[in-house]
C-alpha cells in the first residue's frame, strides 16, 4: 500500500483564510440585514448617483473583499505547493499576473453591474485598449513572460549556478535574484550582472545545480612528442587524483587523453569536475600547477626540445637532475645547487609495487625518501591491531622519514605504496653534513614535521602536544650535534 503525498495548510494559512472568510461574512450579514440581499450591486445604480453613501461603499468593500479572498487563497495554495512539491513550481510572476487579472475582472464586473453598461461595447473598448497597452509595454510583457518560462521550465531558480554566453564572454555565476524583468547574477569574483529575462532566455544556458553543482572542465598541456606518452598519462592522472584529494571543490570523475599531434608536440587534455563557483582560470591554474609538479618530480624535462642538451628519459633511475627539479616542491627547497648535486650523486632509486611496504611502524631507518612518482599511504595501527587509521597520503615532491632522521626515533606509522612508486633514497650519513651547514634546511624540515604531526593528531582525535612542539628544534639540534 502506497501513501500518496498530501499538502496540508499551515496554522498561519488557516488563520489568514479564516480572517478573509469572516470579512466576507460580515459584509453578507450587514447587506442582508439592511437591504434584504447579500449582493450589494443589486441595490446600487451609479449612473444617476450624485454622491457616495453607505450602499456605494458597501459595493466597493464587497468587490474588494472578493478580490482579496481569491488572491489570498491562490497565494496560500501556491506557496504550499512550492514548499512541498519538488516537481511543480509556481513562479511569483504568475501569481502577480493572476492577482492583476482578478482585480481587473472584478472592476470590469462592477462597472457593468453598477453603471449598466452594454457588455459588448465595453469588451470591444477594453480589447482595443489592451492592444494599445500591449504594444506600448511589449518589452515589459516579454520580460514577464520570459520570467514565467524561466521558472516554470526550471531553466534557472534563485540559488542555482549557471553558465551562459553573454556577448563575447562566457559567464559562470549564481542566480541571486529573479524578478519580473531582470535576472541578477553574481560570479565567483563577486561581480554582479543584470540581464533582462528575455535576453537571458535567448542564451545557451547550462544549469549546474540540476547536475549536482558540478562543472566539467578541460585543461590543456602541450608537450614534446619525444616524451614517452605511455608514462606521462599515468603521471597526469595521479596529479588529478592529488587535486581531488586536497581540494573538496574538485570531485567526481577525471580523465587524461591525447587530443592532437601537431608539429612535434602532443596536446594532452585533462578533464576534471569541480564546483562552478571556482573560476575557469583559477581551476585550470590549480590543475596545471599539479601536473607540472608531478612531471618535474618524475624527471621529465619540460624545456622546449630545441634547448634540451641531452635526452633524459631512457630509464627513471638514470634521469639526471631529478632532485634539482623536484626539490622546489618540497622541504628540500633550501638546498643550494652544490648541495643538490652532491645529494643527487649519492641518492639511489627504489621502486615499489602497489601494497608494498616502505616503512614499518616501530622500526628504525637511517634514510629519508623523496617521492618521485606515484603515491603512498601513511597508516597507523590502533590499539586493536585489526584497526587501521589512515592518516595521510604522500605525493611526488613529499619527503618521508624525516622525523626518524632528525630525532633518531622509531617510525610512528606504516608507509605503504598505493600505486607503482619510484622514490629517491638519501642516507643520513650523506645529508647530515648538509643539515649542519644549512640551518634553513633543518628549519624547513622541522616545520614540515610539525604540520604533519598536527594533522595526524587531529585525525586520531588527540590534542597537539605543545611542549613537544616547542622542544622539537632543540631535540633535532642535539641529535645532529649542532
What are the boundaries of each domain within the chain?
Answer: 11-136, 155-211, 215-307, 316-480
CATH architecture of 316-480: Sandwich (2.60)
What class has domain 215-307?
alpha beta
User: Rounded CA gap, 178 and 93, in Å?
Assistant: 10
pLDDT in the model for residue 311:
43
CA distances 137 to 122, 130, 142, 288, Å, are: 22, 10, 9, 51
User: Rounded CA gap, 73 and 20, in Å?
Assistant: 9
pLDDT in the model for residue 243:
95
User: Rounded CA gap, 311 and 225, in Å?
Assistant: 12
155-211 classified as CATH 2.40.30.20: no
Neighbours of 48 (CB within 10 A): 6
Nearest Cα to Cα of residue 369 among 418, 344, 402: 402
Cell matching residue 383: 590499539
pTM, rounded to two decimals: 0.66
Edge-to-edge order in the sheet of strand 399-400: 348-352, 421-427, 367-373, 399-400
Per-residue pLDDT of 68-127, as tens digits, reads 888 888 888 888 877 777 667 777 777 777 888 888 888 878 777 777 666 666 566 566
Is 343 within 8 Å of 430 (Cβ atoms)?
yes
- Low-confidence stretches of the chain (pLDDT < 50) are 1-4, 307-318
Between CA 89 and CA 186, with CA 83 as vertex, the angle to 5 degrees is 70
Q: What are phi and psi of 224, to 5 degrees?
A: -65, 140
pLDDT in the model for residue 41:
79
User: Rounded CA gap, 285 and 374, in Å?
Assistant: 22
pLDDT in the model for residue 475:
67
pLDDT in the model for residue 270:
95
Q: State the residue for C-alpha cell 554566453.
A: 165
pLDDT in the model for residue 375:
94
Amino acid at each position: 500500500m502506497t501513501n500518496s503525498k498530501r499538502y496540508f495548510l499551515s496554522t498561519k494559512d488557516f488563520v489568514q483564510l479564516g480572517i478573509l472568510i469572516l470579512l466576507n461574512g460580515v459584509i453578507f450579514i450587514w447587506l442582508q440585514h439592511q437591504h434584504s440581499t447579500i449582493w450589494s450591486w443589486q441595490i446600487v445604480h451609479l449612473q444617476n448617483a450624485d454622491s457616495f453613501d453607505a450602499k456605494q461603499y458597501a459595493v466597493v468593500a464587497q468587490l474588494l473583499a472578493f478580490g482579496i479572498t481569491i488572491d489570498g487563497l491562490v497565494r496560500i495554495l501556491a506557496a504550499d505547493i512550492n514548499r512541498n512539491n519538488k516537481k511543480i513550481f509556481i513562479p511569483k510572476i504568475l501569481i502577480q499576473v493572476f492577482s492583476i487579472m482578478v482585480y481587473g475582472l472584478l472592476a470590469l464586473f462592477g462597472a457593468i453591474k453598477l453603471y449598466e453598461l452594454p457588455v459588448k461595447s465595453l469588451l470591444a473598448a477594453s480589447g482595443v485598449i489592451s492592444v494599445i497597452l500591449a504594444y506600448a509595454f511589449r518589452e515589459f510583457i516579454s520580460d514577464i513572460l520570459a520570467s514565467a518560462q524561466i521558472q516554470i521550465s526550471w531553466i534557472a531558480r534563485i540559488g542555482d549556478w549557471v553558465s551562459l554566453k553573454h556577448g563575447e564572454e562566457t559567464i559562470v555565476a549564481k542566480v541571486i535574484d529573479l524578478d519580473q524583468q531582470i535576472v541578477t547574477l553574481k560570479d565567483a569574483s563577486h561581480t554582479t550582472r543584470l540581464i533582462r529575462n528575455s535576453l537571458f532566455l535567448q542564451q545557451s544556458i547550462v544549469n549546474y545545480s540540476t547536475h549536482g553543482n558540478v562543472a566539467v572542465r578541460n585543461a590543456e598541456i602541450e608537450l614534446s612528442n619525444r616524451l614517452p606518452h605511455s608514462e606521462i598519462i599515468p603521471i597526469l592522472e595521479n596529479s588529478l587524483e592529488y587535486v581531488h584529494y586536497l581540494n573538496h571543490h574538485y570531485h567526481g570523475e577525471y580523465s587524461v587523453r591525447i587530443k592532437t599531434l601537431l608539429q612535434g608536440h602532443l596536446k594532452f587534455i585533462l578533464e576534471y569536475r569541480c564546483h562552478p563557483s571556482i573560476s575557469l582560470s583559477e581551476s585550470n591554474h590549480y590543475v596545471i600547477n599539479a601536473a607540472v609538479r608531478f612531471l618535474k618530480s618524475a624527471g621529465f624535462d619540460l624545456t622546449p626540445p630545441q634547448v634540451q642538451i641531452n635526452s633524459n628519459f631512457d630509464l627513471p633511475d638514470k634521469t639526471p637532475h631529478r632532485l634539482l627539479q623536484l626539490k622546489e616542491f618540497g622541504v628540500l627547497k633550501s638546498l643550494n645547487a652544490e648541495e643538490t648535486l652532491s645529494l643527487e650523486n649519492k641518492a639511489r632509486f627504489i621502486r615499489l609495487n602497489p601494497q608494498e611496504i616502505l616503512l614499518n611502524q616501530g622500526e628504525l631507518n637511517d634514510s629519508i625518501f623523496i617521492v618521485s612518482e606515484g603515491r603512498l599511504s601513511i597508516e597507523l595501527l590502533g590499539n586493536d591491531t585489526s584497526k587501521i587509521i589512515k592518516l595521510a597520503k604522500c605525493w611526488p615532491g613529499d619527503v618521508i622519514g624525516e622525523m626518524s632522521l632528525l630525532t633518531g626515533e622509531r617510525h610512528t606509522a606504516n608507509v605503504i605504496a598505493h600505486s607503482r612508486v619510484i622514490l629517491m633514497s638519501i642516507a643520513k650519513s650523506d645529508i647530515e653534513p648538509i643539515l649542519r651547514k644549512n640551518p634553513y634546511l633543518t628549519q624547513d624540515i622541522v616545520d614540515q614535521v610539525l604540520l604533519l604531526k598536527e594533522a595526524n593528531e587531529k585525525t586520531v582525535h588527540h590534542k597537539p602536544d605543545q611542549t613537544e612542539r616547542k622542544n622539537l628544534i632543540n631535540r633535532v639540534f642535539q641529535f645532529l650535534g649542532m
